[in-house]
Amino acid sequence: MRMERLFTLNDTQAAALGAGILGTGGGGNTYVGQTWLEKELRDRGGGCRIIDADSVPDDALVCCVGTMGAPTVSNEKLLRGDEFVVGVRALEDHLKARIGALLISEIGGSNALKPLIAGLQLNLPVVDGDPMGRAFPELQMDTFAIGGVSLSPFALVDSHGNVVIMDHVDSPQRAESYARALTIEMGGSAALMMPVVTGRVMKQHLIRGTLSLAEKMGHAILAARAGGHDPAETVAALGSGRVLFRGKITDIERRTVQGFARGRMRLAGFGAAAGQMEIVFQNENLIAWQDGRIICTVPDLICVLSLDDGEPIGTESLRYGLRVAVIGMPAARELKTPAALAFVGPAAFGYPDVTFAPMPGDLL
Amino acid sequence: MRMERLFTLNDTQAAALGAGILGTGGGGNTYVGQTWLEKELRDRGGGCRIIDADSVPDDALVCCVGTMGAPTVSNEKLLRGDEFVVGVRALEDHLKARIGALLISEIGGSNALKPLIAGLQLNLPVVDGDPMGRAFPELQMDTFAIGGVSLSPFALVDSHGNVVIMDHVDSPQRAESYARALTIEMGGSAALMMPVVTGRVMKQHLIRGTLSLAEKMGHAILAARAGGHDPAETVAALGSGRVLFRGKITDIERRTVQGFARGRMRLAGFGAAAGQMEIVFQNENLIAWQDGRIICTVPDLICVLSLDDGEPIGTESLRYGLRVAVIGMPAARELKTPAALAFVGPAAFGYPDVTFAPMPGDLL
């Protein structure tokens, strides 16, 4: 059974909005990618083929494409435009084999739409799903690395067309540290083709349907805007979650440390008895306290939306006085095993004393 | 005409000493490599085949092998031992072609002997020559880069067996900065296989006979030790140079900046009227002033030898009270063209106001 649908100009805005929600404060602005994708769709006509994981043959090779680096850089330092084509072709030459489909490396934030652009450029389908089901700041924080799949060989391409192939890397943490050092040297942002896996391995590890989920969330926001109501409840329900808090940002501490936006925000509820919320973040929102009690922690999703229009608010765009809803959603099942929590639980972000108390249910 | 000789256990000490001289204060300690090479020679018997550049076919592929990183690190963080084999094989797989001979990347310092070790391990001959005719701190400071030869693809291998292939790099400066960032992440030292060139290109750019020159210098030092006399005059004459100064180190400033040993030494001549010398260095000795007047500058070679035994003194081993001879030798012809001076003249080391006033003659 080969399931295929076309992703067209009608889908870009909703997908970008939903990817922003799933970015949980990080993952980078999705608007730049949206306009680029729209240009590619207009220039080429037609649409990008979106396929189900099951329609990929077990022995086909598939490859995640996206960018690595600080979102604050990649929002301003745009790609040249051919990096994904250059990188996929270089990997094909190196492997002496062809890539049959592309994967989304990270559905949350700016990496969500880039595989669709690459798919149009390379005339390859894109699988509906990703290995994070949200955004994470480091390469090893995905279901492939968690599942013990080798991340090498992989390719980095800079905006001058320079190509680096990491032919063999002995651990996901090493993949992260070597690629991070190169990305910084490449100007703070680079295209990343990683990992290359077989269809069989992809089906074992991919979190399925996350592109469709992002689109549904985006459509809910657009419908709420049209109807003049608040989309927070609907968006939360689509992700099996709930609205944790509504209030105003009263305090922000933010510093850039080793390329990450780290900090904390405080929110005051509306009305005297409405309580307080505090959220810490490393690019993405990590832990939320309500009136001093932990109410949601990574890998569960903590998303901040503008109350005015449902726009997802990245941690780089937080500012005093913003009126927001905070949504909590349970992470995808694959991120909550003991093995996964070693990669993406609170301790992996420097909170060894915080225990992950999962929200009920699963993202999808 | 195929000229070939065997480099055996009788040659290691002399080659290591001479490479130390040609290191001009930098390039790293040669003793660690000497003992490693001696072990490989003892374990395998026979010797390493040394060939002339002309005996390599024009269409054969040859490759420089060595290490990149701070000598202060690589003196203590030894290689695992198979890095050159892993790197050369990875490049061969990537290029779908075989490497026919190895080149020395840098005759000055610890990189001089590593290709001989790799030659024994890979059963490949090593060409007598290198693209520097001395030591230099950065990758782009060699006759291949100066001549416009692409340095990519090249390979870096760390002591965990991780392999990075720089498939395409658009300038020698970029090769330096990307490889430097990775080497630092690899622990400060990594094996480097770069560049891969054809026999034809190698013959156009290689400074020939520098391994033989190092061996001759080393033999001169060993003969002087046996005879109880000072080898400085003989060593200087072998490199077409002269003794610039004899004296005692009275002052040293040294700091580690971005992985380089930078600083300055002052020397006082013997006797009241003997004058002063001052030398600045960045790993290698760069500029020598005698009584306030510049007497020798990079790319010409400024070498400091112990007066006791002719031992070359690296800039990391300078200390108060050492009694030394300072030798000046003219650089190889290939380093003194206007194009070359842009890469290796005083301005390239941060001395834009110093004009290169070449010593008479050429190194060889």
Are the CB atoms for B128 and B210 separated by under 8 Å? yes
B64-81: per-residue pLDDT in tens?
A: 999 998 777 777 888 899
Answer yes or no: do B185 and A181 touch at CB < 8 A.
yes
Tokens of A217: 């969330």
In the predicted structure, residue B350 carries a pLDDT above the cut 60: yes
φ/ψ region of A199 (left if φ > 0, alpha if ψ in -120 to 50, else beta) reads alpha
What distance in Å separates the CA atoms of residue A332 and residue B4, rounded to the nearest whole number? 65
Chain B residues touching chain A at CB-CB below 8 Å: 90, 94, 96, 155, 160-170, 174, 177-178, 180-182, 184-186
**A186 contacts on B by Cβ (under 8 Å):** 178
Question: A4-208, superfamily in CATH?
Answer: CV3147-like domain (3.40.1610.10)
Question: How many angstroms away from the CA of A260 is the closest CA of chain B?
Answer: 18
Reported as type and span, the H/E element at residue A34 is helix A31-44
**A184 contacts on B by Cβ (under 8 Å):** 181
Same fold yes or no, B4-208 and B230-349? no
**B30 residue type, one letter:** T
Question: How many angstroms away from the CA of B263 is the closest CA of chain A?
Answer: 26
Answer yes or no: do A165 and B165 touch at CB < 8 A.
yes
Segments of chain A with pLDDT less than 50 = 1
What b/e sequence results for A13-30 when a residue is b if at least 16 CB atoms lie within 10 Å of its CB, and e otherwise?
A: bbbbbbbbbbbbbbbbbb
What distance in Å separates the CA atoms of residue A194 and residue B233, rounded to the nearest whole number? 58
Question: How many angstroms away from the CA of B142 is the closest CA of chain A?
Answer: 21
Chain A residues touching chain B at CB-CB below 8 Å: 90, 94, 96, 155, 160-170, 174, 177-178, 180-182, 184-186
Straight-line distance from the first to the last Cα atom of chain A, in angstroms, rounded to the nearest whole number: 22
ipTM value, please give it: 0.86
User: How confident is residue B325, by pLDDT bands cut at 50, 70 and 90?
Assistant: very high
pLDDT at A2: 54
Question: How many angstroms away from the CA of A71 is the closest CA of chain B?
Answer: 21
Tokens of A273: 């008895």
Q: How many CB pairs under 8 A join A and B?
A: 70
Torsion of CA A207, A208, A213, A215, to 10 degrees: 110
**A160 contacts on B by Cβ (under 8 Å):** 170, 174
Tokens of B66: 């060595």
Whose CA is closest to B21, among B249, B306, B264, B345? B306
Query: Which residues have CB under 8 Å from A219's CB, separation 6+?
Result: A14, A18
Tokens of A118: 């690459």
Question: How many angstroms away from the CA of B155 is the closest CA of chain A?
Answer: 9
Question: How many angstroms away from the CA of A33 is the closest CA of chain B?
Answer: 26
Nearest residue on chain A to B96, judged by CA atoms? A94
B159-172: per-residue pLDDT in tens?
A: 999 999 999 999 99
Answer yes or no: do A170 and B164 touch at CB < 8 A.
no
Nearest residue on chain B to A94, judged by CA atoms? B94
User: How confident is residue B281, by pLDDT bands cut at 50, 70 and 90?
Assistant: very high
Map residue A283 onto helix, strand or coil: coil
pLDDT at B3: 76
Answer yes or no: do B178 and A177 touch at CB < 8 A.
no
Alpha helices for A228-317 (secondary structure H): 232-238
For the whole model, what pTM was predicted? 0.90
Phi, psi of A2 (to 5 degrees): -110, 105
**DSSP code at position B35:** H
Are the CB atoms for B105 and B64 separated by under 8 Å? yes
pLDDT at A183: 94
B164-218: per-residue pLDDT in tens?
A: 999 999 999 999 999 999 999 999 899 999 999 999 999 999 999 999 999 999 9
Nearest residue on chain B to A90, judged by CA atoms? B167
User: How confident is residue B126, by pLDDT bands cut at 50, 70 and 90?
Assistant: very high
What is the residue extent of each domain of chain B? 4-208, 230-349
pLDDT at B258: 74
Answer yes or no: do A181 and B177 touch at CB < 8 A.
no
Name residue B246's beta-bridge partners. Answer: B325
Answer yes or no: do A164 and B185 touch at CB < 8 A.
no
pLDDT at B319: 92
Answer yes or no: do A170 and B161 touch at CB < 8 A.
yes
Q: In chain B, pLDDT over 90 holds for what percent of residues? A: 88
B230-349: what CATH class?
A: mainly beta
Nearest by CB to A164, from B96, B164, B177: name it: B164
CA distance to A8, A175, B123, B163, per residue, from A180 (Å): 33, 8, 36, 16
Answer yes or no: do A164 and B178 touch at CB < 8 A.
yes
